[in-house]
Amino acid sequence: MNTEKIIEIKNLTKKFKDLTAVNELNLNVYRGDVFGFLGPNGAGKSTTIRMMLSLIAPTSGDIKLFGKSLTANRNEVLGKIGAIVEKPDFYGYLSAYDNLEIFGKISGCNPSRKLIMENLELVGLSKRYKSKVKTFSHGMKQRLGLAQALLHDPDLIVLDEPTTGLDPQGMKDIRDLIIHLSKDRQKTIFLSSHILYEVELVANRMIIINKGTTVVEGYVKDLLNSSELQVTLECDSVDSVAGMLTEQFDGVRIKSVTNEKILFSAGKEAIPQINKLLVEKGINVYSLVPVRSLEEYFLQLTEKEKK
């Protein structure tokens, strides 16, 4: 593992009058990471990203990017970052080409026509380079946002919910691009999302935050695979099956039994054994759905937020 810290956030807090959007947040992102930044809507993800990019000032705490204080070295560190913050908005009255040229120049790279066209090609927009951005769909703007973020060849790419509003193919394209940028171009990627599955597919490390504070942080594989599973079993004779499970499997803990379903927690290794037992006993099984506890927890967070 590379130990060079690209992002180092210590005790970061942001208060808006009585509302604490981010509360004593700590996180580290290392060079080469694809870092998933997860949380339900309103968890403080965008506020954190805005502080990282100097769009808003923290109430307290420190942000270091590339080992340097953001406050003292703002322009230097921002020059190494490409970002999309929330939805990518451009000057609608200008063409895709003009927008990239403007943002490239402001980023200090004075992009050549070849470079702009290469980036548009990378995101599949080279044929629309003359079109005004106001004629673009949301997905096209997202892709143009990525081209803009990559134009000055940054070391760190910050993507704030880049797949929001995209169709399944658009989501896959973005994921493929993230993987390409990480593996082939050795970029460090900070990916904010409220979809655990999306992060799981591309990230190696992640953090989940809620109400502005850290819930859990670590390697994606460790966090998702080590935890026990929440299992929903849909079958006949639920009461006798529930009793059988507790008697025969030590790690099984029944959480609820309804007319047709049993909800219980169990280790991953117990699932095939339970399946085998039910078949041997001739019990009709309609579904056996294991959900990882972290995923369940995250779902609870997002469901609570929806309500």
Partner 1 sequence: MINLIRIELFKIFKKVRSYIGFIAIAVLVPVIQIALYLEGENILNFLTQNLRQSFFFVGNFLNGYLIAFIVLGSLMIHIPFLITLVTGDLLAGEATSGTYRMLLTRPVSRTKILTAKFIAGQIYTHSLVLWLAAISMGLGVIIFGVGELIVITDNITIFAKDDILWRFALAYGFGALSMSVVASLSFLFSSLVENSIGPIISTMAIIIVFIIISSINVNFFESIKPYLFTNYMQHWRYFFDDPLDSAEIIKSGIILLGHVVVFFTATLIIFRKKDILS
The stretch among 83-91, 254-262, 276-284, 297-305 that binds partner 1 (CB under 8 A) is 83-91
The CA distance from 49 to 37, in Å, is: 10
* Binding status of residue 98 toward partner 1 by CB under 8 A: yes
Strand partners, 205: 35, 219
* Minimum gap (Å) between residue 116 Cβ and partner 1: 15
Name the residue nearer to partner 1 (CB basis): 10 or 15.
15
* Binding status of residue 83 toward partner 1 by CB under 8 A: yes
Q: Which of 48, 107, 142, 163 binds partner 1 (CB under 8 A)?
A: 107
Q: 284-305 burial, b for 16+ CB within 10 Å, e for fewer? A: eeeebebebebbbbbeebbeee
Q: Which of 88, 139, 162, 170 binds partner 1 (CB under 8 A)?
A: 88
* Binding status of residue 187 toward partner 1 by CB under 8 A: no
Q: Which of 24, 62, 86, 155 binds partner 1 (CB under 8 A)?
A: 86
HSE-CB for 107 with a 13 A CA cutoff: 23
Q: Which of 63, 78, 157, 220 binds partner 1 (CB under 8 A)?
A: 78
* Binding status of residue 162 toward partner 1 by CB under 8 A: no
Instruction: Return all residues near 107 (Cβ < 8 A) that are at least 6 apart.
Output: 79, 151, 152
Long-range contact set of residues 243-252: C-beta below 8 Å, sequence gap at least 24:
244/277, 244/281, 245/274, 248/277, 249/273, 249/274
* Binding status of residue 176 toward partner 1 by CB under 8 A: no
* Binding status of residue 75 toward partner 1 by CB under 8 A: yes
Q: Counting beta carbons within 10 angstroms of the beta carbon of residue 214, is it exposed (0 to 12), middle (13 to 18) or buried (19 or more)?
A: middle
* Binding status of residue 87 toward partner 1 by CB under 8 A: yes
Which residues contact partner 1 (rule: CB under 8 A)? 50, 53-57, 74-76, 78-79, 81, 83, 85-94, 98, 102-103, 105-108, 148
